[in-house]
């Protein structure tokens, strides 16, 4: 049994997959296995993978089913005591697994760890460092000083944004995966949902060192359908806000009025608060089966939400016209961040 299993979900990243694989196989923690689940690539990705002869690498091809399905397939195949994920366009720092696994071994209360992120462009040029929720936010809040971003409350900040940014930033215990049951069928927010579920049962941590290179390039999932992304954001908040705010050990650590004020100034739905309100009224958190059914493409209630979001945002179902000036300044990074941060 290897100490750690790394899963790479791969889809049409022939240009980058070789560097991603090499960054895992050259880790200073050698006791690992690498499982690449190719999700139906058509661009020569498999030809690139065939060049590697390291016995620690296994390639598992499957029909195209999406990132969450590829990750879950890899996790089912994994044998390691610790589990990690790397997207096929990102790159590990050479000592990433060594350092993050050391933290998990030092602190039994930790279930999942990540790190700061070095943002790079398509050619690998550094663009900046994301220091959890302190820098490179995906959007500006009207009054950030009253939000969880202004505090040291990492769990509260997770209700504002997925500041881990990507599943590439996840290293976690096998027991956590077995308890949560893998990733849900969300195209844009499967990573954020996993973190919010994790925070209910274990402690999370971000090491203050950039141990992941997060690549920005032109193929951004956010360009596919902004409306569906906002739908998933609202779905995640509707499912998780009641669970987190109903935990007195966390929510009542400060005066209720202060906690409510922070919550009011932290939640961001691209102006679609009515969608979140109705989902909360529908009590999605009370029934997992019911909540999951709304994610099905042919669910009529889902279509009502999508139609409303399209009219609310005025997007016609495509990309958002409401990207604020901060996002414009960040350019390509934030276009990709909206895909991976949520």
The packing angle between helices 273-281 and 300-313, to 10°, is 160
Mean pLDDT taken over the chain:
90
pLDDT at residue 328 greater than cutoff 60 = no
What's the farthest any 2 CA atoms get from each other in the chain?
A: 59
Confidence band (pLDDT; 50, 70, 90) for 342? very low
The pTM of this model reads 0.91
**pLDDT at 287 (0 to 100):** 77
pLDDT at residue 336 greater than cutoff 80 = no
**Residues 127, 141: Cα–Cα separation, whole Å:** 23
The secondary structure of residue 284, as a DSSP letter, is G
**pLDDT at 288 (0 to 100):** 81
**pLDDT at 223 (0 to 100):** 44
Domains plus CATH for the chain? 4-219 (3.90.550.10), 226-340 (no CATH)
- Per-residue pLDDT tens over the stretch 139-198: 889 999 999 999 999 999 999 999 999 999 999 999 999 999 999 999 999 999 999 999
Closest CA to 289 of 342, 242, 228, 239: 239
- Per-residue pLDDT tens over the stretch 226-284: 899 999 999 999 999 999 999 999 998 889 899 999 999 999 999 999 999 999 999 99
**Residues 83, 89: Cα–Cα separation, whole Å:** 19
Of the chain, the percentage scoring pLDDT greater than 90 comes to: 83
**pLDDT at 217 (0 to 100):** 79
Cβ(160)–Cβ(150) below 8 Å: no
pLDDT at residue 213 greater than cutoff 60 = yes
Cβ(232)–Cβ(110) below 8 Å: no
Confidence band (pLDDT; 50, 70, 90) for 218? low
- Per-residue pLDDT tens over the stretch 11-46: 999 999 999 999 999 999 999 999 999 999 999 999
Closest CA to 139 of 336, 342, 295, 334: 334
Higher pLDDT, 106 or 226: 106
pLDDT at residue 317 greater than cutoff 50 = no
**pLDDT at 339 (0 to 100):** 44
Confidence band (pLDDT; 50, 70, 90) for 312? confident
Query: Among all chains, which residue has been given the structure tokens 């689940």?
Result: 37
Segment 309-317 mean pLDDT: 69
91-92/110-120 β-pairing: unpaired
- The per-residue DSSP string of 122-176 comes to TT--EEEEE-TTSSS-SS--SSGGGSGGGSS-HHHHTTT--TT-SGGG-EEEHHH
Confidence band (pLDDT; 50, 70, 90) for 224? low
């Amino acid at each position: 049994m290897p100490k750690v299993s790394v899963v790479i979900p791969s889809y049409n990243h022939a240009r980058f997959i070789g560097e991603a694989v090499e960054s895992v196989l050259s880790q200073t923690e050698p006791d690992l296995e690498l499982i690449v689940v190719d999700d139906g690539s058509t661009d020569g990705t498999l030809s690139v993978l065939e060049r590697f002869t390291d016995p620690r690498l296994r390639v598992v091809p499957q029909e195209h089913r999406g990132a969450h399905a590829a990750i879950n397939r890899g996790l089912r195949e994994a044998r390691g005591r610790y589990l990690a994920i790397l997207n096929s366009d990102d790159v590990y720092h050479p000592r990433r697994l060594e350092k993050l696994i050391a933290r998990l071994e030092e602190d039994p209360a930790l279930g999942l760890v990540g790190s700061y992120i070095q943002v790079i462009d398509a050619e690998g040029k550094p663009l900046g460092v994301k220091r959890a929720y302190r820098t490179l936010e995906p959007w500006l809040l009207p009054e950030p000083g009253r939000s969880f971003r202004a505090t040291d409350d990492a769990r509260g900040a997770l209700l504002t944004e997925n500041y881990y940014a990507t599943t590439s930033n996840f290293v976690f215990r096998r027991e956590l995966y077995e308890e949560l049951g893998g990733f849900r069928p969300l195209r844009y927010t499967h990573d954020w949902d996993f973190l919010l579920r994790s925070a209910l049962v274990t402690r999370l941590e971000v090491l203050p060192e950039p141990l992941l290179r997060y690549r920005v390039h032109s193929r951004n999932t956010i360009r596919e359908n902004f409306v569906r992304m906002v739908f998933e954001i609202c779905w995640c908040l509707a499912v998780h806000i009641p669970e987190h705010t109903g935990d007195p050990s966390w929510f009542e650590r400060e005066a209720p009025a202060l906690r409510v004020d922070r919550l009011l100034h932290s939640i961001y739905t691209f102006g679609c608060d009515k969608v979140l309100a109705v989902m909360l009224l529908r009590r999605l958190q009370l029934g997992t089966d019911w909540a999951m059914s709304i994610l099905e493409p042919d669910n009529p209630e889902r279509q009502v939400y999508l139609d409303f979001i399209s009219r609310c945002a005025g997007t016609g179902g495509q990309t958002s016209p409401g990207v604020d000036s901060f996002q414009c300044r960040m350019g390509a990074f934030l276009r990709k961040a909206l895909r991976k941060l949520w």
